[in-house]
């Protein structure tokens, strides 16, 4: 718990006894009500968090039927330009870079003195984690004022979706410093893609008051939370889920964290990126270091077969 204040440690301890799921389910229902309180609540929220409504597709706060509809508001076309370079990796979400860098074997840095494993992040499967060993990661925290849809960092085909039940600890900036293995303990949805640059995972991590995580291809993933890990293999399913770079892949109904994973030697982050830096969806985070594979789905299958033998 280095660099954490005494009060931050106390808050982290208190969160262990907090009824995360109960509070979040109440939030789920309240934020979907169309009642008179909705409009003043939205206006208060905009002022409190300095939300920029000029970039919203619907700039009139009163036009949203519920607080949740306002929260997951769409942006105007062109509000988030996507890089034109074919090898560029685009930022998946608005927010702040919490951490980024190298995956050390299968360990991912959460904060100074805190880390977790790719295996546990992806639901306990060694086979699922092998393609990302010694790869790259980037963790982006979405604050209450941010745009809360998550987009594709690179063009890819969905291979597998994994829903991992868990706690709903806060992911506020202090939390990674005081709650061990936070992102590998909270409820989360991991989407594994085959891309021209190799395997890619986008992990959407839930948090307290994150009353729902949903995807573009299957709708609500949670709630209900469930008690066991659920995995859906899309390699032999219909229809095939192909998504372009910059296309929406999911959304948080209330804010949280997105973690991006790539394999060893696949990408390089921009040297100028700094921990704590604010970023926007679509910004160039880095570039691919490998020649794009034409049949990247077959290449992924071959890597998966090798991983199953390790």
Each residue's pLDDT tens digit, 130-187:
999 999 999 999 988 899 999 999 999 999 999 998 888 878 777 888 788 989 998 8
Sequence-distant (≥ 6) Cβ neighbours of residue 67 within 8 angstroms: 30, 31, 32, 33, 38, 41, 42, 45
Which has more confidence, 87 or 27?
87
Residue 1: per-residue pLDDT: 45
Q: How far apart are CA 245 and CA 299, in angstroms?
A: 19
Give Cα 29 distance to the centre of its chain. Answer: 23
SS3 184: helix
In this prediction the pTM is 0.89
Residue 291: per-residue pLDDT: 78
For all residues of the chain together, what is the average pLDDT? 86
pLDDT band at 301 (very low <50, low <70, confident <90, very high): confident
pLDDT band at 6 (very low <50, low <70, confident <90, very high): low
Residue 4: per-residue pLDDT: 65
Q: How far apart are CA 42 and CA 61, in angstroms?
A: 7
Residues 90, 284: contact at Cβ < 8 Å? yes
Catalytic residue set:
94, 151, 256
Residue 166: per-residue pLDDT: 85
Q: 230-234, 252-256, 258-262: which has the highest mean pLDDT?
A: 258-262
Q: What is the pLDDT of residues 60-100, one digit of tens each?
A: 999 999 988 998 999 999 999 999 999 999 999 999 999 99
Q: How far apart are CA 308 and CA 215, in angstroms?
A: 27
């Amino acid at each position: 718990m280095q660099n954490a204040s005494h009060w931050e440690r106390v808050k982290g301890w208190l969160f262990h006894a907090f009824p995360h799921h109960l509070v979040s389910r109440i939030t789920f229902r309240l934020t979907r009500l169309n009642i008179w309180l909705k409009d003043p609540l939205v206006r208060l929220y905009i002022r409190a968090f300095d939300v920029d409504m000029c970039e919203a597709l619907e700039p009139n706060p009163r036009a949203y039927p519920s607080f949740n509809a306002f929260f997951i508001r769409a942006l105007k076309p062109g509000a988030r330009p996507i890089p034109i370079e074919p090898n560029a990796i685009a930022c998946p979400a608005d927010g702040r870079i919490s951490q980024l860098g190298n995956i050390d074997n299968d360990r991912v840095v959460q904060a100074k003195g805190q880390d977790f494993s790719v295996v546990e992040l992806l639901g306990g499967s060694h086979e699922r984690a092998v393609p990302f060993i010694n790869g790259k990661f980037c963790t982006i925290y979405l604050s209450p004022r941010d745009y809360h849809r998550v987009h594709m960092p690179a063009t890819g085909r969905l291979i597998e979706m994994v829903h991992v039940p868990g706690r709903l600890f806060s992911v506020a900036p202090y939390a990674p410093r005081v709650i061990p293995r936070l992102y590998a303990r909270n409820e989360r949805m991991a989407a594994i893609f085959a891309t021209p640059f190799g395997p890619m995972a986008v992990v959407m991590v839930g948090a307290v008051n994150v009353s729902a995580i949903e995807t573009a291809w299957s709708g609500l993933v949670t709630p209900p939370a469930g008690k066991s890990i659920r995995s859906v293999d899309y390699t032999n399913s219909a229809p095939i889920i192909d998504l372009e770079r910059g296309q929406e892949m999911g959304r948080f109904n209330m804010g949280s964290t997105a973690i991006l994973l790539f394999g060893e030697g696949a990408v390089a982050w921009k040297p100028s990126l700094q921990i704590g830096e604010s970023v926007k969806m679509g910004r160039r985070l880095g570039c691919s270091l490998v020649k794009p594979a034409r049949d990247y789905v077959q290449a992924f299958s071959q890597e998966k077969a090798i991983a199953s033998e390790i």
